[in-house]
Amino acid sequence: MANLFDELQWRGLIFDATEGLSDLFARERVTAYIGFDPTASSLHIGSLLHMVTLARMQRFGHSPIAIAGGGTGMIGDPSGKAKERTLLTPDEINANVEGIKAQLARFLDFDRAANPARLVNNADWLASFDLLGFLRDTGKYFTVNYMLQKESVNRRLESEDGISYTEFSYLLLQARDFLELFDRYGCTLQMGGSDQWGNITAGIELIRKLRAKKAHGLVTPLVTMASGVKFGKTEAGTIWLDPERTSPFRFYQFWFNTDDRDVVAYLKYFTFLERAGIDALVSTLASAPDKREAQRVLAREVTALVHGADQVTRAERASSVLFSEDIATLTADDVLAVFEDVPSTEIPADEFGGAGLAMVDLVARVQLAASKSEARRLVQSGGVYMNNRRIADLQARITIADAIGGRLVVLRKGQKQTHIVRVA
C-alpha cells in the first residue's frame, strides 16, 4: 500500500508535520484525529478539507477519529481569532454538536472491521473534570511561559482586548483531548489546519511527559482563493454543508465557478481522484480552458461526496436550464423542480390582472433590489430578466400572460441571482 505521507505530500496537504511521521505511516496502522468546533449547527466548507482528509486516511487503511468539540466549544479556541469569542450557551452547543455529528458521520465508515472510524464528543470527558483535579493533572505540566509563547495567545496579548483566562486555558483542554484519545484508542496523530499547530504540539508534549510516548502532528495549509477572498465565502455568504443553508445547486455552482488558478489544488485537496486523473484534467485545463472540464469534475465530485450523486444530476440539470435553455418552453412543474432551492415569493393572482404589476415594483417587492430606486437603476442598466428575457423598459408591466403555465415568473438580476414569483 502506498504511504499516506507521500500521498498527502503530493496533494499539497502537508504544511508542517512532526519528524518521523512518514515512517510511522509506513510501519503501522495509525489512529489519528481531527477536532471540529460546534460554533454552528452545520459545518461549512472550511471544515470540508479536514473531513476529506480523515476519509482519505481511512481509505489508506488507517483509523480516523472525528471529535465534535462539545467540551472545547464551551471555552472557545483563541487560535486565529483577533477577538475574544462570545460564548454559546450549553444548549446551543449541544444542538450544534448534534448537527455536525450527522455531517461528519457521512464521511466516515464505522463498519470497517480492520480500521473503523470513530466519532466522539470531547464533552464526554472534559465536562466531568473537577477544577482541582484538572489543575493538578493537566495544568501542572504546562508552564505559563510555554503557553505565552503560543502564537494564538501571544497575538492576543499584544492586542488591546487581551485574552480572557478562559480562552487562555483552551490549549490545556485540547492537549488533554489528545492524551485522552491516546489512552482510549491508541491515537498517535492529531491533524488540523495550520492555525492548530500550537494546540497540537501542546498535546504531543503532554503525552510525552505523562506517557513517555512519541505522538505526532500534521497540519494542512490554509486553503486560499486566488481572488483573495476568504475560502468558502461568496457574495451570498458562507458555503455550508447543510442543504437547508446552502442548496446543493448553489454548492455545485460554488465549485463550478472555481478560478482556473485554484482548481488543480482543489482537485487534490477535496477529491479522491488519483494522480493520472488529475494530470489529465491539468492538460485539459491548459488546452481547452473554456471547456472548464476541471471545474466540472471538481463540482461533480465534491457535490456527490457531500450531497449524493442524485443531487449532482439535479444541479447539472438546473444549471443547463438556468444558463442555456429557453425557460419559457418548460412546464411550470419542471421549472419549480429546477428552482426548488431558489427563494420565492407568492403574489395573489388578482394583482396580475388588468394592466398587471409594474416590473420595477415587482423587483423591489421580492427584494431583488433593496429599494425602488435601486430597482429602477437595475432595469435601466439592463440587469433585469424575466423568464430569461431582458426587460429594460422602465414602464414594463407583468400580467398573468407572462407567467409560465399561468403559475410562475422567473425573475433574474444579473447573471446569477434568481427569484421565483409564484402566482397564488
Partner RNA sequence: GGCGAGGUAGCGAAGCGGUCAAACGCAGCAGACUGUAAAUCUGUCGCCCCAGUGGCUUCGAAGGUUCGAGUCCUUCCCUCGCCA
47 binds RNA (CB under 7 A): no
User: Using CB under 7 A, which of the segments 27-35, 47-55, 256-264, 349-357 binds RNA?
Assistant: 256-264
Spatial distance between the Cα atoms of 416 and 58, rounded to a whole number of angstroms:
38
User: Using CB under 7 A, which of the segments 15-23, 172-180, 269-277, 373-381 binds RNA?
Assistant: 373-381
CB 115 within 8 A of CB 29: yes
Q: Among residue numbers 151 through 210, which ones bind RNA (CB under 7 A)?
A: 160
Spatial distance between the Cα atoms of 59 and 364, rounded to a whole number of angstroms:
51
Query: Smallest distance from the beta carbon of 233 to RNA, in angstroms?
Result: 10
Residue 195: CB partners within 8 Å, gap ≥ 6? 79, 80, 152, 222
Query: What torsion, rounded to 10 degrees, do the Cα atoms 276, 277, 282, 283 define?
Result: 80
233 binds RNA (CB under 7 A): no
22 binds RNA (CB under 7 A): no
CB 231 within 8 A of CB 32: no
Cell numbers at residue 411, please? 425573475
Give the CA distances from residue 57 to residues 23, 31, 256, in Å, rounded to whole numbers and listed in that order: 15, 9, 26
CB 178 within 8 A of CB 203: yes
Cell numbers at residue 212, please? 513517555
Which of 166, 319, 345, 388 binds RNA (CB under 7 A)? It is: 319
User: Using CB under 7 A, which of the segments 117-125, 178-186, 193-201, 410-418 binds RNA?
Assistant: 410-418
Q: Among residue numbers 259 through 318, which ones bind RNA (CB under 7 A)?
A: 259-260, 289-290, 292, 295
370 binds RNA (CB under 7 A): yes
Cell numbers at residue 25, please? 505511516
Which of 235, 244, 276, 348 binds RNA (CB under 7 A)? It is: 235
* CA angle, residues 121, 16, 3, in degrees to nearest 5: 85
253 binds RNA (CB under 7 A): yes
Which of 149, 224, 257, 283 binds RNA (CB under 7 A)? It is: 257
Query: Smallest distance from the beta carbon of 69 to RNA, in angstroms?
Result: 31
Which of 118, 372, 397, 422 binds RNA (CB under 7 A)? It is: 372
Q: How many residues bind RNA (CB under 7 A)?
A: 32
Binding site for RNA (CB under 7 A): 160, 226-227, 235, 253, 256-257, 259-260, 289-290, 292, 295, 319, 323, 364, 370-374, 376-378, 381-383, 413-417
